[in-house]
Amino acid sequence: MKCKKFITLLLAGAMFAAYLPDMGVSGELGEVRAAEAAETPAYLDTSLSFEERAADLVSRMTLEEKAQQTITSSAAAIPRLGVSQYNYWSEGLHGVARSGNATSFPHGLGIASTWNTDLVQEMGDAISDEARGYSNETGKGLSYWSPTINLARDPRWGRAEEGYGEDQFLTTAIAESYVNGMQGDDDTYLKTIATLKHFVANNSEYNRHTGSSDVDERDLREYYSYTFKNVVENTDVASVMSSYNQLNGTPMPANEFMLTDLLRNTWGFDGYRCL
């Protein structure tokens, strides 16, 4: 409501200012007009909430500019609003060496084999340190598409080394520590953004864009979605990536029951989704 009122005042002020040249305004009133014109937009006002600032920024964007933010993982810059280009795709499963020189930790199965959640959180903290370094030096984005928490029941999956094994309890515990280490403990700002992937039942790599993972309700809730449910409920994970496959014939990016009814309304996820 405050944001709407603020925007209304800005618009009213702009309309009024448009008539001032014809009124022969000068002196003190002219200075007031100049000061109003230089007023900081709401989206740049750090005293406002993130929600208010985001709403104001989006309200200033054209339809084409909005589309360019969503059609690829690389969001285009908007120079007129001072918005820089941003790439949402970065990987950090066991380090950020994909970006260049960085520490390379063990792969997922090796990480899980430590059975040490404190150590995994320290690892996540170290990875996010180096991620921040790349961001500061090169402007690299802070959104990381990690961890992979699909369960590896079959070595023919094709990405078993990314995950933490076949046990849902161990995978959940390791993933929670990783997320906490990556995102940090600041009350206001995220250190980096962790992304749980791939939601859900993404266990066939060769046909992941066309195949359907057909599972019954019990297996879905007790096994395939168990890790996502518990990490979402036990951490403040900021992002979840939907899987590429269909679930029982419904493409996951369009699965309203899984993405809205279950993920958001039942488990309480309030971050953003990668599709």
Query: pLDDT of 70-99, one tens digit each?
Result: 888 999 999 999 999 999 999 999 999 999
Tell which wins on pLDDT, 184 or 32.
184
User: Band of the pLDDT at 204, cuts 50, 70, 90?
Assistant: confident
| Least confidently predicted of 49-58, 149-158, 193-202, 209-218 | 149-158
pLDDT in tens, 242-253: 999 999 999 999
Torsion of CA 89, 192, 105, 273, to 10 degrees: -50
Give the pLDDT score at 14.
33
Classify each residue of 207-226 as buried b or exposed e, where b means 16 or more C-beta atoms within 10 Å of its C-beta. ebeeebbebeeeebeeebbb
Architecture in CATH for domain 91-275: Alpha-Beta Barrel (3.20)
Q: Is the pLDDT of residue 23 over 60?
A: no
pLDDT in tens, 106-116: 999 999 999 99
Task: Please state, in angstroms and rounded to a whole number, the distance separating the CA atoms of residues 97 and 100.
Answer: 5
What token pair was written down for 6? Answer: 């603020």
> What average pLDDT does range 182-208 have in this prediction?
95
Give the pLDDT score at 121.
98
Break the chain into its structural domains and give their ranges: 1-60, 91-275
DSSP string covering 124-182 = HHHHHHHHHHHHHHH----EE---B----S-GGGS-GGGS--S-HHHHHHHHHHHHHHH
Instruction: Compute the mean pLDDT over every residue in the chain, rounded to the nearest whole number.
Output: 88
Give the pLDDT score at 31.
56
pTM of this prediction?
0.84
Q: Is the pLDDT of residue 32 over 50?
A: no
Give the pLDDT score at 27.
56
Q: Is 212 strand, coil or helix?
A: strand
Give the pLDDT score at 20.
34
In 3D space, the residue among 197, 198, 202 whose CA is nearest the CA of residue 245 turns out to be: 202
User: Band of the pLDDT at 3, cuts 50, 70, 90?
Assistant: very low
